[in-house]
Amino acid sequence: MKTFQYERPADADTAVALLADAPTGAYLGGGTNLVDLMKLGVAAPDLLVDVSRLPFDAVEETGTGGLRIGAAVRNSTLAVHPLVRERYPVLSQALLSGASTQLRNAATVGGNLLQRTRCPYFQDVGKPCNKRRPGTGCPAREGAHRDLAVLGASEHCVATNPSDMAVALAALDAIVDVASGHGPRRVPLTDLHRLPGDAPDRDTTLRHGELITAVELPPPMPGARSAYRKARDRASYAFALASVGAVLQVREGLVHHVRVAFGALAAKPWRARTAEEALLGEPATTASFDDAVRHELAAARPLRDNGYKVPLARRMAVSMLTELAAASAGGTP
Amino acid sequence: MDGTSEVGLRINGKPFSRVIDNRTTLLDLLREQAGVTGPKKGCDHGQCGACTVLLDGDRRVNACLLLAVSLDGADVTTVEGLADGDRLHPVQQAFVDHDGFQCGFCTPGQICSAVAAIAEARAGWPSVVTPPDTPPGPVEPTAAEIRERMSGNLCRCGAYVNIVAAVREVAR
């Protein structure tokens, strides 16, 4: 690990000012990804600005009945929060699906969102990787890519974003609050992460020094049901092969509101907007769900060894939507 | 720019202060500077749980992924801090009674993790295998719950069956 300076400012303004003057510095949240990457030599910041103790540790109802989640809230705290369990089960389930309790106890909400989109080649400094060293190539395309992206990848990168929480937040239309020297701004969660294109080294749309301060959820849709499901190689404590988070509101047998997001298929949580548009106003039946999800996943471009993800993700989404419809008020089983 | 900081914490109730290299993890501080060698270095990447310790009460964490400099003021409990004098902590005693180990390398982490896992279930924290319609209150410590809650601790000897039995006895 390279040596670095450590600062723990008392407020966000100081944190932002410190990093603005340090082009190769980084914020430190729970450190569960960053410290690991520093040990591997993948990350080598010369300054860590510890933001884990900034006063962003509250989960509060908003004036409109939504929820405002401070960026320093620990993943485990958020997962078991009564309002999250009651109103946003997809988020509680996604958090509990991620990592181990030890890691969730350390990881912050802001840090979870800013963990690196990654693959085994990115983590191995002995290998070429366009994300770690732009222009060196992508061995994953011909190599070990069974776990990697089938949607939105580019010739330069096929890494996936491993966050379960972000998939749930995408399905919940979450907004991310960001502070910087240029003042605060609000970023829809679905615009926070980016597809690799020809700049796979950039995981997000944040500029250097921008600091996530909170995540805001809109009020839950009345009568809507939500859930998160994750397929993985072992029963617990593993990254997803595919995951799905969904919110469904049914009225008189018809889809009135639907959100579907996939994890582990792309470099960002994949909001299934094509499927959502196709389903609006349609009967809440397995046949409708299957048609819509097939339409969405027609965009998949699997590599040699990860084609299994497409039918896996489809079956997971269709069965989940079918179950949510059955559970919905006025839903048809 | 010397890359060092002063840090002060409590380790098993005893104050510990020192100027440290900022790169020092909590695990390395415990083992190499404080002489507390219960927490073990298995993978050193947060994947095996052998380094599990308790922070500020019952918050279990991987000591290998925490920078000690970020923990100024923290209260750290390792396996050495669990017993009451000569009397073993109930989880330690249950691991002995149920033969919850073979080589023992993962055991300090398993035991710290189990102490916290039992407290979490009693506090009503759900896990991913807890049915969503479960009413609030303590979670029934079924074998499935224990396996899920202990999944951050690997045992290469495969003593899992006896570990589950040990944890279950105390959790009930």
Tell me if A285 is assigned to some domain.
yes
Region A253-274 average pLDDT? 98
Helix (H) or strand (E) holding A191: helix A189-192
The pLDDT value recorded for residue A250 is: 96
Average pLDDT for residues A176-198, to the nearest whole number? 97
Is B117 at the interface with chain A, CB within 8 A?
yes
Regions of chain B where pLDDT drops below 70: 1
Which residues partner with A28 through β-bridges?
A: A50
d(CA A73, CA A26): 19
Whether residue A105 and residue B60 make contact (CB cut-off 8 A), yes or no, is yes
pLDDT at B1: 57
**Would residue A292 count as lying in a domain?**
yes
Q: Convert the pLDDT of each residue in A228-263 to its tens digit.
A: 999 999 999 999 999 999 999 999 999 999 999 999
Tell me the two tokens of residue A166: 């972000």
Q: In what order do the strands lie in the sheet with A185-188?
A: A59-61, A67-70, A211-217, A175-179, A185-188
CA distance A301 to chain B (A): 31
Region of A331 on the Ramachandran plot (φ > 0 left; ψ -120 to 50 alpha; else beta) = beta
Nearest neighbour of A31 by CB, restricted to B70, B127, B153: B70
A89: chain B residues, CB-CB within 8 Å: 132
Model pLDDT, residue A102: 98
Cα distance from B146 to chain A (closest Cα, Å)? 12
A3 contacts B3? CB cut-off 8 A:
yes
Task: Name the fold adopted by B4-81.
Answer: Ubiquitin-like (UB roll) (3.10.20)
| CA pair distance A281, A160, nearest whole angstrom | 32
State residue B132's pLDDT score.
81
* Domains of chain B by residue range: 4-81, 90-171
ipTM of the complex: 0.98
What is the pLDDT, as a whole number, of residue A331? 43
Distance from CA of B151 to the nearest CA of A (A): 6
Q: Interior CA angle at A300 toward A298 and A303, to 5°? A: 140
Whole-number pLDDT of residue B134: 87
Burial state string for A109-134 with b = 16 or more CB within 10 A and e = fewer than 16: bbbbbbbbbbbbbbbeeebebbbbee
A4/B23 Cβ within 8 A: yes
Residue from A35, A38, A47, A101 whose CB has the most chain B CBs within 10 Å, to mutate:
A101
Query: Which fold does the domain B90-171 belong to in CATH?
Result: DNA polymerase; domain 1 (1.10.150)
Please report whether residue A268 resides in a domain: yes
CB-CB neighbors (< 8 A) of B22 in chain A: 3-6, 48
> CB distance from B87 to chain A under 8 Å?
no
d(CA A174, CA B9): 37
- Among candidates B150, B166, B2, which has minimal Cα distance to B100? B166
| CATH number of the domain bearing residue A307 | 3.30.390.50
Q: Would A110 be classed as within a structural domain?
A: no
Q: Which residues of B touch A102 (CB under 8 A)?
A: 46, 49, 52, 60-62, 113, 152
Asked if A32 lies within 8 A of B65 by C-beta distance, the reply is yes
Tens digits of residue pLDDT in A87-113: 999 999 999 999 999 999 999 999 999
Window from A9-13, A150-154, A276-280, A327-331 with minimum mean pLDDT: A327-331
Q: What is the domain extent for residue A251?
A: 225-327
Q: How many CB atoms lie within 10 A of CB A212?
A: 27
Task: Confirm if B33 and B27 have CB atoms less than 8 A apart.
Answer: no
